[in-house]
Chain A
């Protein structure tokens, strides 16, 4: 089983602050995804990164895939209360029947 470690596990910040959450593994992944999950709902895909060193931006969210494709980070600029949720990273390995290995998540709370 490939493990994906996410840090921090919990993060509480004030509106307007910046933050970074991390997703690390000793395994190489062919792609890595970030999902956001709100209470009482299923996870929703935010982004997929495929190439080592790739950086993708989604408005105030910046995602980076490590050069060795073992780790990833999510940076949020000027966080808003609407960013509150559980952020999950998930890695895919080639030939794995499209199975994803999920991290344990980072619970983000943005206070107004």
Chain B
């Protein structure tokens, strides 16, 4: 099993450009999450999904969009990139069963907006 995979690993965007960060998991997990991590800070939840076709906002959703058409994939879309979106983005998944809060993380995408 590959677990949670993310592409690309690095990306530089100009202000106003758009891009999609890809996330795929092969563990048949119901729950998926997108976080951003800024230097010296913990992880902030951007969006999450409890299953295909169901998404909801997290703590910092502004400037982002998501979709969940399959169990495996949970892409994150940035429409108009801004310098404030420079960060490291992590995708995670969780089984979601009773008491199963453990999350499994991908390796991250380091995004710079200039």
A98-B40 CB under 8 A given contacts A42-B106, A42-B108:
no
Range, interface on chain B: 20 to 34
Contact B48 A31, beta carbon cutoff 8 Å: no
**Contact code string A42-64 (vs B, CB < 8 Å = 1, else 0):** 11110010100000000000000
Tell me if A33 is interfacial: C-beta within 8 Å of chain B.
yes
Q: A92–B45 Cα gap in the complex (Å)?
A: 13
Contact B103 A45, beta carbon cutoff 8 Å: yes
A104-B41 CB under 8 A given contacts A92-B101, A98-B94:
yes
Tell me if B79 is interfacial: C-beta within 8 Å of chain A.
no
Tell me if B42 is interfacial: C-beta within 8 Å of chain A.
yes
With both beta carbons as reference points, the residue of chain A lying nearest to B104 in the complex is identified as A45
Q: How many residues of A contact B (CB 8 A)?
A: 25
**Contact code string A19-41 (vs B, CB < 8 Å = 1, else 0):** 00000000000010100000011
Within 8 A of A (CB), among B1-36: 4, 31, 33, 35
**In the assembled complex, which residues on chain B have CB atoms less than 8 Å from the CB atom of A31?**
99, 101
**In the assembled complex, which residues on chain B have CB atoms less than 8 Å from the CB atom of A102?**
35, 42-44
Report how many A-B pairs have Cβ atoms within 8 Å: 62
Tell me if A14 is interfacial: C-beta within 8 Å of chain B.
no
Contact A103 B92, beta carbon cutoff 8 Å: no
A-B contact pairs, 30 of them (CB 8 A): A1-B59, A9-B40, A33-B102, A40-B107, A41-B108, A42-B4, A42-B105, A42-B106, A42-B107, A43-B90, A44-B105, A45-B102, A45-B103, A45-B104, A50-B99, A90-B43, A90-B103, A92-B101, A97-B31, A97-B50, A97-B56, A98-B31, A99-B33, A99-B45, A99-B48, A100-B45, A100-B103, A102-B42, A102-B43, A104-B41
Q: Which residues of A contact B (CB under 8 A)?
A: 1, 4, 6, 9, 31, 33, 40-45, 48, 50, 88, 90, 92, 97-100, 102-105
